[in-house]
Amino acid sequence: MKKHFSTLSILLLVLFLIFGCSAAEKGSNQPAKTTQPVAETWATENGIRQLTDTITGKMALEEKIGQMMFVGIHGTTLSENTKNTLAAMHVGGVILFDRNMENREQVKALNTSLSNLVLNTYNLPLFLSIDQEGGLVTRMKQHAYTAPAATQIGKGKPEDAYTEANKTGKDIRELGFNLDFAPVLDIGSRMHGRTYGTEAQQVTAFGEQACRGLRDSSVLFTIKHFPGMGRSETDPHTEKSIVNVPQETILQEDLKPFRHIIDQYPHHQFMVMAGHIRYPAFDTKPASLSPVILKQMLRNQLGYQGIVITDDLDMAAVSEGYGPDEIGIVAIQAGTDILLSCHDPEVQQRIYRSTLQAVKDGKLSQADIDASVHRIVYCKLKSLTDTVQREKLYKQVVK
């Protein structure tokens, strides 16, 4: 009986080896199962959030600080020196001025050259920006659409603000820009025609339509200058500026247009630009460097979860009190996500290097840096419509 059982066992083992191996060989030609999602799935909200988490987690610190740098360049074409400077800082955004713009074809070519730069591991797209408000603040007026000044638009109907902003957005989009540092939501009459009016209700109505017009042109917009600098009597480009009014006035009037947009629009569709004005009723520091205004007011009270960008850090209103080696650190500690430096490459590099070193030294929290980069990456992924670039990015991340 034992002998019979042993022979049967051997026979079954042989049959298993023959047919089992055959089945295994047949199965080896089939693609292996994977839990990795196909490329199309990351375009869903859940997929974009997962991809944002992955990129933020894998990105080197040097690249993270670069995503938080937004700089101006010189020249109408990309020189090797400019390319090297941008690459050394892994910059996340570039702003162009009249000094960079001669005609439409040249601007398109320059923006294309910028877009083709590989400045980080995942080749995240650049924010390509322009100050195209209309009126006095219009770049390349001879070759670009020039909307009337906001004050002039404010004399008509709110729908006029939509029409002008939409035309502006479509025009700059054609030139290769994806972000406009507009509209101005300040209340007042002292800003050379840049405001829609002197009453909160009017500015809110016209500003909302301007935001909608830019949004519908597939351009990111920026509401500025938080929390409102229309009451300032001096120009922050050239000197310190102060708005010396009670807290109640700012909270009930000046904040109204900003609060409305924050409540009405998804926060990845726009940025908030913090002005360099001082508000003694809240803090002794300029708004762009004030945790009271950015963290307590903007983040906690208004609930804004999108990107906060400084006004130009080269402006006298802040540069006279803070040097390039400290201003970026102070701004990030206050709650800023992106540091804007428009003119001097040396200043830009000093801001970058000092900010990077501050993280390494523990002066800046790695968690705060990651939170800012997460907001930036999420905004870029939500805005990315180029399917070829999307596919390349996806493959880089999941490989």
**pLDDT per residue over 310-354, tens digit each?**
999 998 778 677 999 999 999 999 999 999 999 999 999 999 999
Q: What is the mean pLDDT of residues 45-74?
A: 95
77 within a domain of the structure (yes/no)? yes
pLDDT score recorded for residue 5: 44
pLDDT grade for 29, boundaries at 50, 70 and 90: very low
pTM: 0.88
Query: Is 196 among the domain residues?
Result: yes
**What is the percentage of the chain residues whose pLDDT exceeds 90?**
76
Q: Can you read off the two tokens belonging to residue 106?
A: 């040249």
- Does residue 53 lie in a domain region? no
Is 263 exposed, middle or buried (CB count within 10 Å of its CB: 0-12, 13-18, 19+)? exposed
- Structural domain contains residue 291: no
pLDDT mean over 368-379: 98
| Predicted pLDDT of residue 236 | 54
Quick one: which of 345, 315, 316, 318 has its CA closest to 331? 318
* Whether pLDDT at 154 is above 50: yes
Is 71 part of a structural domain of the chain? yes
Return the pLDDT at 11.
44
Residue 98: which domain range? 63-168+182-275+306-398
Residue 14 has pLDDT above 60, yes or no: no
* Per-residue 3-state assignment (H helix, E strand, C coil) for 307-352: EEEECCCCCHHHHCCCCHHHHHHHHHHHCCCEEEECCCHHHHHHHH
Residue 237: per-residue pLDDT = 54
Rounded mean pLDDT, 7-35 = 41
Residue-level pLDDT at 395: 77
Ordered strands of the 179-180 beta sheet: 179-180, 127-130, 93-96, 69-72, 339-341
pLDDT of residue 390: 72
Query: What's the total number of domains in the chain?
Result: 1
Task: Specify the pLDDT at position 319.
Answer: 65
Q: Residue 392 has what pLDDT?
A: 75
Q: Does 74 have pLDDT greater than 80?
A: yes
CATH number where 151 lies: 3.20.20.300
Residue 2 within a domain: no
In a domain, 162, yes or no: yes
The mean per-residue pLDDT over the stretch 207-218 comes to 98
> Is there a cis peptide before residue 183, judged by omega within 30 degrees of 0?
yes
Token code pair at residue 290: 């004030």
Residue 29 lies in a domain: no
